[in-house]
Amino acid sequence: MDRRTVLAGACAGLAGATLSTKLAYAAGAYTGDTLVVVSLRGGFDGLSAFAPIGDTHYYKARPAIGVPKNQVIAGDGMFGLHPALAPLLPHWTAGRLAAVHAVGQVDPTRSHFAAMEAMENAAPGSSIRTGWLDRMLGLTGAGGPLAGVSLGKAMPARIFSGPSGDVSMNAIDDVTLAGDGKRPMAAALRAMYADAPAHLSAPAQAADRALAATSKVKAATLPVANGAVYPETDLAGALRDVARLIKSKAGLVTAAVDCGDWDMHEGLGTAVQGQRMHDNLTELAQALNAFVTDLGPDTMKSVTVLTISEFGRRVAENGSRGADHGHGNAMMLLGGGVRGGKVYGDWPGLAPADLVAGDLAVTTDYRSVIGEVLQKRCGIGSLTEVFPGVKPSSFGLAVAR
């Protein structure tokens, strides 16, 4: 059995995880926030989550599915939170949760696949093909095996595509080396590649490092803290594992988590329990609340969570009480360094003349919002390498570390 055979078998047998490696790990110590990116797949309806109750055209366009003024929470006269976001209301009131409205991508495509690819690449019009989290990770100098992790069944690997080392896993407890219980596979892998050139040994060493790091996290057996209760959902399970990585001090710099089922062409429904948008928002809010509660205020001082989605929904409802693919959308930001309790953004209005082909206009590039967080909370200087040609937003939505 030669090195190639053993390596192929070992990497294929790394159950529950896939690895992206680079030949040399940087030795720098990262001191910024842990950035948690939650991708709301399918086209999140920001017009429901953060309803523009002060825009009369909202109710003209959505007579059935518009969120009534008397049902929103934390309303400020112009915007109000969907009542299903109630689990997050304490964080909004405490100034840890904010939203940015009328955000989106430059290209108003309504194709899920094209929009998701562009969102994760985040460098339209350039020859760059890596994912923006990979580029961000490379600038931090962090080189640990668990510096970049995508968690959950969907495993959004494209956002990490590139040379920086990262791990995609279903769950921490699922990461094992097949056969290692019966044979010393990990030890054999280390021995076989001990004297190999770097370009041959890097994948094996990365697999070994990832296994060792996840084993330490498992052994820590850190309980869910502060009375937090995670619902039995895929999103909550992934966020619970992100919390484990943070609490175990595993060197996590950034994590990507997927949350699907937002493509509501039909049955988006009214703002009551049992309706699709209401129930999905409830699950999202409960999972995020459990995550924040689990970590506690001291740890959350160094954690920022943000949501992204490939596009929003159309302003006008359709005949099946849903909304088709749109353009402008809303993002959420949650963390100890967030100046929360308000909706940021330049509202373009929902009058027919203000729409873009029937959609909410985009007045803020989603990358500029992330850019402000990267600079103020993650210690990234120039955004050129992460988001070419993009300037950070000047909303003041994050406090500089």
Q: Which residue has the higher pLDDT, 179 or 77?
A: 77
User: How far apart are the C-alpha atoms of 323 and 262, rounded to whole Å?
Assistant: 11
Q: What is the pLDDT of residues 227-286, one digit of tens each?
A: 999 999 999 999 999 999 999 999 999 999 999 999 999 999 999 999 999 999 999 999
Task: Please determine, for residue 186, whether its predicted confidence score (pLDDT) is greater than 90.
Answer: no
User: How far apart are the C-alpha atoms of 392 and 400, rounded to whole Å?
Assistant: 13
Hey, how many other C-beta atoms are within 10 angstroms of the C-beta on 274? Answer: 8
Per-domain residue ranges of the chain: 3-377
Choose the most confident range, by mean pLDDT, from 22-26, 30-34, 183-187: 30-34
Hey, how many other C-beta atoms are within 10 angstroms of the C-beta on 273? Answer: 9
Choose the most confident range, by mean pLDDT, from 19-33, 74-88, 183-197: 74-88
The per-residue pLDDT for 2 is 40
Provide the token pair at 391.
């300037």
In contact, 334 and 96? CB cutoff 8 Å: yes
Q: What is the pLDDT of residues 107-127, one digit of tens each?
A: 999 999 999 999 999 999 999
Q: Region 292-316: what's the mean pLDDT? A: 98
Residue 41's nearest CA partner among 275, 284, 269 is 284
% of the chain surpassing 90 pLDDT:
77
Task: Please determine, for residue 373, whether its predicted confidence score (pLDDT) is greater than 70.
Answer: yes
The per-residue pLDDT for 202 is 72
Amino acid identity, residue 197?
P
Helix 198-220 vs helix 234-247: angle between axes, to the nearest 10 degrees? 100
Average pLDDT, the chain: 90
User: How far apart are the C-alpha atoms of 82 and 66, rounded to whole Å?
Assistant: 10
Q: Confidence band (pLDDT; 50, 70, 90) for 180?
A: low
Q: Confidence band (pLDDT; 50, 70, 90) for 20?
A: low
Rounded CA Rg of the chain = 22
Domain 3-377: give its CATH architecture: 3-Layer(aba) Sandwich (3.40)
103, β-bridge pairs = 329, 364
Q: What is the DSSP string of 132-188?
A: HHHHHHHHHT---TTSEEEESSS--GGGG-SSS-EEEES-GGG-EETTTTTS-HHHH
- The dihedrals phi and psi of 339, each to the nearest 5 degrees, come to -90, 90
Match 């060197």 to its residue by tokens: 251
The per-residue pLDDT for 17 is 67
